[in-house]
Amino acid sequence: MSQRPQDTDQELLARLRNGDEQAFVALYKRRQGAIYRFALHMSGSASLAEDIAQEVFLTLLRNEWGFDPQRGTLSGYLFGIARKLVLRHLERSRPDIALEPETDESSNPELATGGDVLAELTHRESLEALRRAVITLPRRYREVVVLCDLEELDYADAATALGCPIGTVRSRLHRARALLLDKLTQERLPRHGLQGWKPVRCEI
């Protein structure tokens, strides 16, 4: 059976549960790229990102974690699986690194910045520069930037993927954008001979 244009993720999943292999292929083509990019930005490893993307869809086939449409979209659910797999790998590969302490993301208001400022700056940066900056962010900020700004998930789907309230997504993203803006700005300074210049941070 060929994929119908009107098929939603949940409709494809229902067909998959009934043994429709084409539904799985359609879901894979639709969502694999975003899952791969998320894992790549989180880990910095293309080979690991490929493995995680494959494992996410194998998990979907096995229905190990049980998708509940009442708790969010399938997209958020898949990103949630990918996040767990990435964290599992990072914990195994760097067991000596302590977990990041939870802080109040609404603190440090001097770093506050609007998404439009970040978008304008990142538009001028190369993808490689953006990747370098994103990978240096603390994990809880990195994942929310990748989900909300790079993959353009809404706050509800990001909250589903991260297993946290929407308010936490908002505050982490606010802080993460400020950190990323600083990193991108600082990287640009040597190229323009502006050592010693400090950017003026915008508040909203």
Q: Both 83 and 30 in a single domain?
A: yes
Is 134 part of any domain? yes
Q: Of 61, 93, 125, which one is at a domain's C-terminal end?
A: 93
The reported pTM is: 0.73
Is 148 part of any domain? yes
Q: Both 72 and 34 in a single domain?
A: yes
Model confidence pLDDT, tens digit, residues 99-139? 444 444 444 433 334 445 455 555 555 667 777 888 899 99
pLDDT computed for residue 157 by the predictor: 94
Count of CB atoms within 10 A of residue 75's CB?
20
Is 98 part of any domain? no
Q: Both 132 and 184 in a single domain?
A: yes
Q: Both 83 and 141 in a single domain?
A: no
Q: Which domain holds residue 155?
A: 109-192
Q: Give the count of domains, the chain.
A: 2
Is 204 part of any domain? no
Q: Both 114 and 188 in a single domain?
A: yes
Residue 62 sits in a domain of what CATH number? 1.10.1740.10
Q: Both 113 and 76 in a single domain?
A: no
Residue 156 sits in a domain of what CATH number? 1.10.10.10
Is 158 part of any domain? yes
Is 200 part of any domain? no
Is 99 part of any domain? no
What's the rounded Cα separation, in Å, for the pair 107 and 78? 31
Question: 136 with 183: CB under 8 angstroms?
Answer: yes
Q: Please, which pLDDT band fits residue 147 given cuts at 50, 70 and 90? A: very high
Model confidence pLDDT, tens digit, residues 9-18? 989 988 988 8
Q: Of 93, 127, 159, which one is at a domain's C-terminal end?
A: 93
Is 128 part of any domain? yes
Q: What are the Cα distances from residue 140, in Å, to 35, 56, 136?
A: 17, 20, 11
- Greater pLDDT, 34 or 124: 34
What's the rounded Cα separation, in Å, for the pair 166 and 9? 22
Question: Does residue 165 carry a pLDDT above 70?
Answer: yes
